[in-house]
Amino acid sequence: MARMNMIEAIRSTLAYQLQKDDDVLIFGEDVGYFGGVFRCTDGLQETYGLKRCFDTPISEGGIIGVAIGMAAAGLRPVVEIQFSDYIYPAYDQIASEAARLRYRSNGDFTAPLTIRTPVGGGIYGGETHSQSPEALFTHICGIKSVIPSNPYDAKGLLNTAIETNDPVMFFEPKRLYNGPFDGDPDKPAMSWDSSELGEVPDEEYRIPLGEARTIREGNAITILAYGTMVWVAEAAVRSHGIDAEIIDLRSLIPLDMKTISASVEKTGRCVVVHEATRTSGFGAELAALVQEHCFYSLEAPVQRVTGWDTPYPHALEWHYFPGQARVAAALEQVLEAA
Amino acid sequence: MARMNMIEAIRSTLAYQLQKDDDVLIFGEDVGYFGGVFRCTDGLQETYGLKRCFDTPISEGGIIGVAIGMAAAGLRPVVEIQFSDYIYPAYDQIASEAARLRYRSNGDFTAPLTIRTPVGGGIYGGETHSQSPEALFTHICGIKSVIPSNPYDAKGLLNTAIETNDPVMFFEPKRLYNGPFDGDPDKPAMSWDSSELGEVPDEEYRIPLGEARTIREGNAITILAYGTMVWVAEAAVRSHGIDAEIIDLRSLIPLDMKTISASVEKTGRCVVVHEATRTSGFGAELAALVQEHCFYSLEAPVQRVTGWDTPYPHALEWHYFPGQARVAAALEQVLEAA
Amino acid sequence: MTKDESDTNSDLYIPEPLHRPGDTPDFSHIHVRRNDNLEQPDVLVDSYETERHAGGLIRVMDMQGVASGPWLPQVTPDILRKGLRAMLLTRLMDDRMFAMQRQGKLSFYLKSRGEEAVSVAQTLAIRKTDMVFPTYRQQGVLIARDYPMKRMMCQCLSNAGDSSLGRQMPTMYSSREYGFFSISGNLGTQFIQSVGWAMASAYKRRDDLAMAYIGDGSTAEGDFHYALNFASTYRAPVVLNIVNNQWAISSFQGIAGGQSKTFASRGLGYGLASLRVDGNDFLAVYAVTRWAAERARRGGGATVIEHYTYRAEGHSSSDDPSKYRPNEEASAWPYGDPIERLKQHLIVIGEWDDARHNALVDDLSTYVRDTYKEAEALGSIAAGTGIDPKTMFEGVYEHMTPTLDEQARVSGVGTWRE
Amino acid sequence: MTKDESDTNSDLYIPEPLHRPGDTPDFSHIHVRRNDNLEQPDVLVDSYETERHAGGLIRVMDMQGVASGPWLPQVTPDILRKGLRAMLLTRLMDDRMFAMQRQGKLSFYLKSRGEEAVSVAQTLAIRKTDMVFPTYRQQGVLIARDYPMKRMMCQCLSNAGDSSLGRQMPTMYSSREYGFFSISGNLGTQFIQSVGWAMASAYKRRDDLAMAYIGDGSTAEGDFHYALNFASTYRAPVVLNIVNNQWAISSFQGIAGGQSKTFASRGLGYGLASLRVDGNDFLAVYAVTRWAAERARRGGGATVIEHYTYRAEGHSSSDDPSKYRPNEEASAWPYGDPIERLKQHLIVIGEWDDARHNALVDDLSTYVRDTYKEAEALGSIAAGTGIDPKTMFEGVYEHMTPTLDEQARVSGVGTWRE
Ligand SMILES: Cc1ncc(C[n+]2csc(CCOP(=O)(O)OP(=O)(O)O)c2C)c(N)n1
Ligand SMILES: Cc1ncc(C[n+]2csc(CCOP(=O)(O)OP(=O)(O)O)c2C)c(N)n1
Ligand SMILES: [Mg+2]
Ligand SMILES: [Mg+2]
């Protein structure tokens, strides 16, 4: 069993898929010879050849359009959008085409493609290297949305995503690439060596899409989180000694409503945490669902801790980022509410 | 005071704005000589000249990109996207550029433009002439989202939208262009002559963005709706004799939370209705907000009546459309819940 | 900073079409020549040597039906008769369905009158294993490939015989079996997808190519640029067809084309072989398509073909073209009608006559009428489609999800849970 | 359908650059000529007559600094010295800021080494009232327009002196006053916006034009296509500059350019005048810019200019170019360094000498160092920016909204309500 960071977990999974299935092709901006700006495809071109892992023009719409055509023709493209902030030029191809091809053709054509893209802030990337656009995809039926919070899950979920016959958005929290991150930028960076979830078995395994992971059990309150915020929430809970149950959603669509409901019915309180802009973020859907499903168990309103309704600022990024203090404050508020 | 349908109300407002302000330019696909596929710009080119109202290439990204440049240069472009289903190629220009120009330049440059686009189904338009993508814009800070449900409001809101110094999405429920629509496709079409809200004063007036309209007062339950669904809800309430308060939001961003809270605090129950796909629709935000603000007044969970999580189908569109029966069923369920 | 008018040349320019309602159409600036002296180059020629072909107009038939010149294709009279038949059938079906739309049986319809040679000749010039990425105006492809017309009609009627379960608007066909990619209502999107298909074909070392279509108006979308660019970068075996039928709903081709000479010439800047062809000349369309297909199959990469033609009717059943162009413009179009011209050519070469033609038209009319009756018997938007509402919830994903299952249950159509 | 390899020519082609790490850079296929015999046409010439200019390379100076030929611009030695000074200042500031980034004072930096002639010569060739739509590599524009360097540095330091309140990453300047449009992190988007600006200028009958930039790699975005197309359709007074510096992060220009001959030649297909220029030749860049600006101002519409140059350093402070290209490639670039070449030219015409040059460099270095110190005194990401957190909630809309006010309150920075 190897300790890996998330980049290595992703890279080794991509390598396995290339190895296993000739129909898997990897492409995107700078992913070929160079191996990607975050190094997730480093060495793949060298090992598997120019045609299996190659560079594309800077044309996100073109990348996804080409991937759809390939997927319809029987290949299984895995593409990278360099930063999720740059996915919008491809939005039409994703929302109008990839997501609906199966439906509109009644299964005559399908688009089994995986779109990998880094999300989240905390790297002083400013408004165009920090966004978390997942809610723009969860609103689009026909596409799945996945977001791992650790190397172990990254491998299991990515294997499943690539082998799934539906298009999958695979969001990679870039702040977690090299280690867990608890939201404190002043602490020295941690590595995945320090975490159990950095242990990535050599054998191939799959994690089904739609199964959440309970990161921590607790009875007083349920925290729904995903990506980087799982670790921030965990640290907030730990440092404040709160008896919280933390659920790492892992997959937003499909969503593991069963696990969520069971937890909230147990705790009677719920806080939703994400990094994206608050209004119409995925937290809104979670809050709506939780109160629909668990209204009579709820002792306090579901609260959201999120990024603000501003662009992600550069200098003030730690004022934007929903850190431990904000999570803890919300937890306490919800715990005190009666 | 003239009776007008919504097309006439929009057209006369555009004419007024062209007349009043040389900096207002109107453009989009087929809006020039032809006057728009829904006739909203009919005659404007003839009256105000080729340069004030003109055709563009079929390039939604280009249309918005050009509009941003013009707006930054001091003009006040009012563009039409022929169907909101076709707005995605412009998504990057709207979300990354128009919405953020003021912020990122600290007010050095701004983008006061209005994007008019028809939304909603009920015209057998299938998956690409029926969508309601408002939630994809409410998640983007820096842009406002407006949706009138009648000719009177259309005029007042459009005047404000055009004169606002922020970019505004102006969604036009196409099913309401020619008359109110209560969700029953088998009934003969109604005209706006039959409705008070078809009375459009000749003088120019403005309706502030962020003020909802209470369409009907009631004590038993609050219905939050906008666009076509205001009329469907109204009909459902009327035919089922329910003592509901119906709030027509009119503007989604900014949102009139005051009116919403006051109503739900009074009624203790709330149903949210929209035509868009359910998951991560604007109804999620509304449900989340209502339970955040009014939790202790709520006697039952906030329910959502929405389009299903499928593409808008052609043949089965009346199975997709959230009609009176579905609204009524939800109302009854929420009224019965204890 | 605003100056006196006299002081500046600056002014916003808005292009306008030649004719508007009330004008008498005048195409006398178009000089119809037999051909532009455009030789047929080797299929692997450097793309830059197609410059004159991109700016000129490749033609084979003159207006009297006499065929000649370097692009004269080798094609048997049987194939030409098959083409004539498919074009006629396309037009007759269009007419029938449009009439039925007017009677309220269909929600919408869209004809291809005047452009039948493009889809039919091209289809006969490629292989059945080549995948076509059509727009909504290439119904001729399915007809030329002998797709069952009843199925087309059932699609348009959104009835129980529609293999896509009434999910799409009329005319938005899909058939993998017949090499016809699912049509998208979003203009342009399929153009770049076709390049991906072609790249997959090359990667799999298959000989199949992709055949993509886009309208003159839709070339303004980003997808057009993506397609030409990716096709050039990866030398994809694809034929990128621009159908320049002069109109995009109410906008004349100069709105999308701007000051550029031809749409075909756009291809040159991307390093793609680029040809411009008289789209109403069946033989010329056939010839350029053979050339482009062979180029692609032999590793020469993509070709851009502009089909210079004319949309002889309204945009669709929702349109009223008399609002923005003179009604007489269609008949004034100097390149005539593709069906008439092929018929004339067949007569000129002694392979056809009026009597056979009329008999064929009668036959096909009967066939269309009878087939329509059979199709309508399976339902329509007007009379009830017979489509099971439960199907609405299926096929969003490969497998039913709990969320959709629950929504189906709420809607009253049942559940997939046991 | 898959065939034997022997049976098909079909295969997926992936282009590759000339050199990779370990290779010895060899540009001997590039024949550096004094000029390509490209005459300077009338500014209102039909765009099609610029075909040779789009395929060739307009040059004025040879590698010894001797200037000649039809594009020799009328320009005083004073302006040339101003250009030399601005280029030097740009480079010195770049070096300083990059070093400071390495010391952790800045989160990021991005140099323009090797490309200084493009921004500086162009700026001197247009008017101050012309609006520039830059990419992140046109810092030379601000410097040539005498924008206060301290303000630039404060922007990069995200400190209290940053007029954009630290909202953007370093180098993402904005200044309406200096005709410098707010830089977007999203590649390409500003290219079409510049056309809108130009259309507004024409509509207002102003003489001001828009000056837009895009990188070779970014031409693959849809916005590039939109810009050329709209500029053509509405004859917008805009200059559309493609800075072909051979690299887009790690991708060589053939990834975006495919099999096309030149980026400039893309413009021809849109009916735009298109010129390709030695981007390291200050005089040539100046000359083509004058030509394009005059064309635009006289109602001739847009010009596409490809600046053929070389990105002499890494993409940015986050990049390590030795991972994907030989370190020696920059110095092997056959068109030399723009600063050295202009210096040489000034010496050749007797308007400059080494002593003056060295004195100037010393002066400017001191100025940059002192200015940086002043700027850093106002704060930095490392030492604290001094930016009021409350400002984070402002300027999303013109007026504060209740939602943002509430969020600010929750965040602890206060409220705007009385
Ligand atoms: C992305 C998008 N924008 C707008 C439309 C609306 N629309 C449908 S057809 C059409 C005109 C297309 O013209 P052209 O490309 O020339 O094709 P033609 O109809 O002439 O065959 C327009 C604007 C659409 N379907 N998709
Ligand atoms: C839409 C978008 N996609 C991707 C990126 C990431 N990115 C930043 S710079 C760059 C390379 C740009 O190359 P080029 O256009 O040649 O400009 P240069 O850096 O050479 O000046 C990339 C891919 C981005 N900023 N925006
Ligand atoms: Mg057309
Ligand atoms: Mg570059």
Q: Are residues C166 and B125, on separate chains, in Cβ contact within 8 Å?
A: no
3-state secondary structure A30-60: CCCCCCCCCCCCCCHHHHHCCCCEEECCCCH
Which of the 8 DSSP states describes residue B73? T
Residue B240 falls in the annotated catalytic set: no
Among candidates B51, B59, B126 on the partner chain, residue whose Cβ is nearest the Cβ of C220? B59
Is B25 in the same domain as B167? yes
Residue D350 Cα to ligand 4 midpoint, Å, equals 35
Q: Model confidence over C395-412: pLDDT tens digits? A: 999 999 999 999 999 999
Is B174 in the same domain as B52? yes
Is B137 in the same domain as B35? yes
The CATH number of residue A332's host domain is: 3.40.50.920
Picking from A228, A29, A38, the residue whose alpha carbon sits closest to that of residue A121 is A228
ipTM: 0.98
Where is the domain boundary, A196, A228, A243?
A196
Q: Are residues C186 and A96, on separate chains, in Cβ contact within 8 Å?
A: yes
**Ligand with the closest atom to the CA of B37:** 1
Q: Model confidence over C31-59: pLDDT tens digits? A: 888 777 899 999 999 999 999 999 999 99
Q: Record the tokens describing residue D333, joined without a space.
A: 């670039």
Which of the 8 DSSP states describes residue C220? G
- The single-letter code of the amino acid at C80 is L
Residue C249 Cα to ligand 1 midpoint, Å, equals 7
Residues 6 or more apart whose CB falls under 8 angstroms from that of A208 comprise A160
Is A160 in the same domain as A33? yes
- The single-letter code of the amino acid at D160 is A
Is A57 in the same domain as A171? yes
CB of residue A337 inside a 6 A radius of ligand 2: no
Dihedral angle computed from the Cα positions of residues A211, A166, B93 and B80, in that order, rounded to the nearest 10 degrees: -120
Unique residue bearing structure tokens 């669904």: B229
Q: Which helix (H) or strand (E) holds B66?
A: helix B60-72
What is the per-residue pLDDT for D35? Answer: 73
Range of the domain at B291: 210-336
Active-site residue, selected from the candidate residues B129, B139, B240, B319: B129
What is the per-residue pLDDT for B338? Answer: 79
- The single-letter code of the amino acid at A255 is L
Is A252 in the same domain as A170? no
Q: Record the tokens describing residue D138, joined without a space.
A: 């046109």
Q: Record the tokens describing residue B17, joined without a space.
A: 């704005």
Q: Model confidence over C108-150: pLDDT tens digits? A: 999 999 999 999 999 999 999 999 999 999 999 999 999 999 9
**Quick one: average pLDDT of D336-363?**
98
Residue C250 Cα to ligand 1 midpoint, Å, equals 10
Task: Give me the count of residues in chain B.
Answer: 338
Cα separation, C260 vs C242, whole angstroms: 14
Which of the 8 DSSP states describes residue C380? B
Of D191, D218, D311, D313, best ligand 2 pocket probe by most atoms within 8 Å of the beta carbon: D218
What is the per-residue pLDDT for D8? Answer: 60
Q: Is residue A299 part of a domain?
A: yes
Q: Are residues C187 and B86, on separate chains, in Cβ contact within 8 Å?
A: yes
Tally: H helices and E strands in chain C: 14, 7
Picking from B164, B175, B184, the residue whose alpha carbon sits closest to that of residue B251 is B164
Where is the domain boundary, A196, A230, A256?
A196
Whether the per-residue pLDDT at D7 is higher than 90: the answer is no
**Ligand with the closest atom to the CA of D137:** 2
Q: Are residues A68 and C193, on separate chains, in Cβ contact within 8 Å?
A: yes
The tally of CA atoms less than 13 A away on the side-chain side of residue A227 is: 28
Residue D122 backbone phi and psi in degrees, to 5: -65, -40
A125 part of contact set with chain D, CB < 8 Å: yes
Q: Is residue B291 part of a domain?
A: yes
- The single-letter code of the amino acid at D142 is L
Ligand 4 ion local residues (Cβ < 5 A): D 215-217, 245, 248
Question: Chain C to chain D, count of Cβ pairs less than 8 Å apart?
Answer: 173
Write out residues 151-190 of A within 8 Å (CB-CB) of C.
164-166
Which residue in C has a C-alpha nearest to residue A59's C-alpha? C226
Q: Is residue A96 part of a domain?
A: yes
Question: Chain B to chain C, count of Cβ pairs less than 8 Å apart?
Answer: 126
Beta strands B213-216; B244-248: pairing state: antiparallel
Picking from B154, B157, B156, B176, the residue whose alpha carbon sits closest to that of residue B168 is B157
Q: Model confidence over C301-353: pLDDT tens digits? A: 999 999 999 999 999 999 999 999 999 999 999 999 999 999 999 999 999 99
Whole-angstrom CA distances from C42 to C34, C47, C54, C55, C292 are: 22, 11, 15, 18, 11
What is the per-residue pLDDT for D10? Answer: 79
Q: Model confidence over B164-173: pLDDT tens digits? A: 999 999 999 9
CB of residue C187 inside a 6 A radius of ligand 1: yes
Which residue in D has a C-alpha nearest to residue A59's C-alpha? D221
Is B174 in the same domain as B65? yes
**Quick one: average pLDDT of A14-39?**
98
DSSP code per residue over D100-119:
HHHTTSSS-----TT-HHHH
Chain A residues within 8 A of C396 when measuring between CB atoms: 102-103, 141-142
Unique residue bearing structure tokens 């973020």: A281
Any chains having at least 3 CB pairs less than 8 A from chain D are: A, B, C
Residue C159 Cα to ligand 1 midpoint, Å, equals 26
Unique residue bearing structure tokens 């981007």: D279
Please tell me the class of the D29-376 domain: alpha beta
CB of residue D350 inside a 6 A radius of ligand 2: no
What is the per-residue pLDDT for C5? Answer: 42
Domain boundaries, chain C: 29-376, 388-418
Interface probe for D, chosen from A58, A127, A332 (most Cβ of D below 10 Å), is: A58
Atom of ligand 2 nearest to the CA of A30: 23
Which residue in B has a C-alpha nearest to residue C321's C-alpha? B34
Ranges of residues in chain B with a pLDDT under 50 are: none
What is the per-residue pLDDT for C8? Answer: 60
Q: Model confidence over A264-290: pLDDT tens digits? A: 999 999 999 999 999 999 999 999 999
Q: Are residues C323 and B88, on separate chains, in Cβ contact within 8 Å?
A: no
Does residue A261 sit in helix, strand or coil?
A: helix
Whether the per-residue pLDDT at C2 is higher than 80: the answer is no
Q: Model confidence over C49-101: pLDDT tens digits? A: 999 999 999 999 999 999 999 999 999 999 999 999 999 999 999 999 999 99
Q: Model confidence over D132-187: pLDDT tens digits? A: 999 999 999 999 999 999 999 999 999 999 999 999 999 999 999 999 999 999 99
Picking from B83, B90, B18, the residue whose alpha carbon sits closest to that of residue B47 is B18
Task: Give me the count of residues in chain A.
Answer: 338
- Could you list the beta-strand ranges (E) of chain B: 2-3, 24-28, 53-55, 76-80, 114-119, 144-146, 168-173, 199-200, 213-216, 221-225, 244-248, 251-253, 270-277, 303-307
Whole-angstrom CA distances from A183 to A334, C323, D395 are: 21, 62, 26
Q: Calculate how close chain C gets to B91, using CA atoms only, in Å.
A: 12
Where is the domain boundary, B196, B229, B261?
B196
What pairs with residue A303 in β-bridges?
A271
CB of residue C258 inside a 6 A radius of ligand 1: no
What is the per-residue pLDDT for C35? Answer: 73
Chain C residues within 8 A of B315 when measuring between CB atoms: 158-159, 162, 165-167, 381, 385, 387
Sheet with C238-244: list strands edge to edge: C131-133, C210-215, C238-244, C303-308, C273-278
Residue C310 Cα to ligand 3 midpoint, Å, equals 8
Q: Calculate how close chain B gets to A194, using CA atoms only, in Å.
A: 36
Write out residues 155-174 of C within 8 Å (CB-CB) of A.
163-165, 167-168, 172, 174
Q: Model confidence over B225-279: pLDDT tens digits? A: 999 999 999 999 999 999 999 999 999 999 999 999 999 999 999 999 999 999 9
pTM, full prediction:
0.98
Is A27 in the same domain as A65? yes
Is B123 in the same domain as B235? no
Ligand 1, atom 8: nearest CA belongs to which residue? C187
Q: What's the domain count of chain B?
A: 2
Exposed/middle/buried for D143, CB within 10 Å: 0-12, 13-18, 19+?
A: buried
What is the per-residue pLDDT for D2? Answer: 38
**Quick one: average pLDDT of A289-309?**
98
Q: Calculate how close chain C gets to B318, using CA atoms only, in Å.
A: 10
CB of residue B58 inside a 6 A radius of ligand 1: yes
Whole-angstrom CA distances from C399 to A107, A144, B307, C394 are: 11, 12, 20, 8
Residue B129 Cα to ligand 1 midpoint, Å, equals 12
Sheet with A168-173: list strands edge to edge: A53-55, A24-28, A76-80, A114-119, A168-173, A144-146, A251-253
Picking from A160, A186, A162, the residue whose alpha carbon sits closest to that of residue A324 is A186
For chain D, the first-to-last Cα distance in angstroms comes to 75
Interface probe for A, chosen from D243, D245, D251 (most Cβ of A below 10 Å), is: D251
Task: Determine what percent of chain A is predicted with pLDDT higher than 70.
Answer: 100
Q: Is residue A28 part of a domain?
A: yes
Q: Record the tokens describing residue B180, joined without a space.
A: 């109110």
Which residue in D has a C-alpha nearest to residue C264's C-alpha? D269
Which residue in A has a C-alpha nearest to residue C164's C-alpha? A106
D361 part of contact set with chain A, CB < 8 Å: no
Which of the 8 DSSP states describes residue C67? B
C196 part of contact set with chain A, CB < 8 Å: yes
Among candidates B32, B59, B278 on the partner chain, residue whose Cβ is nearest the Cβ of C221? B59
Q: Is residue B297 part of a domain?
A: yes
Q: Model confidence over A211-249: pLDDT tens digits? A: 999 999 999 999 999 999 999 999 999 999 999 999 999
Whether the per-residue pLDDT at D325 is higher than 50: the answer is yes
Whether the per-residue pLDDT at D3 is higher than 70: the answer is no
CB of residue D255 inside a 6 A radius of ligand 2: no
Is A175 in the same domain as A215? no
Whether the per-residue pLDDT at C233 is higher than 70: the answer is yes
Q: Model confidence over A171-214: pLDDT tens digits? A: 999 999 999 999 999 999 999 998 999 999 999 999 999 999 99
The CATH number of residue A31's host domain is: 3.40.50.970
Q: Model confidence over B206-232: pLDDT tens digits? A: 999 999 999 999 999 999 999 999 999
B279 part of contact set with chain C, CB < 8 Å: yes
Q: Model confidence over D38-93: pLDDT tens digits? A: 999 999 999 999 999 999 999 999 999 999 999 999 999 999 999 999 999 999 99
Residues 6 or more apart whose CB falls under 8 angstroms from that of B50 comprise B32, C14, C16
What is the per-residue pLDDT for D4? Answer: 43
Picking from A174, A122, A121, the residue whose alpha carbon sits closest to that of residue A147 is A174
Which residue in C has a C-alpha nearest to residue A22's C-alpha? C204
Q: Are residues C181 and A102, on separate chains, in Cβ contact within 8 Å?
A: no
What is the per-residue pLDDT for D259? Answer: 85
DSSP code per residue over B307-338:
E-SS---STTHHHHS--HHHHHHHHHHHHH--
C270 part of contact set with chain D, CB < 8 Å: yes
CB of residue C276 inside a 6 A radius of ligand 1: no
Q: Is residue A329 part of a domain?
A: yes
Q: Calculate how close chain C gets to A100, using CA atoms only, in Å.
A: 7
CB A300 within 8 A of CB A329: no
Cα separation, C189 vs C193, whole angstroms: 7
Task: Give the pLDDT band of residue D1 (cuts 50, 70, 90).
Answer: very low
Does residue B224 sit in helix, strand or coil?
A: strand
Chain C residues within 8 A of D3 when measuring between CB atoms: 205-207
Is A94 in the same domain as A141? yes
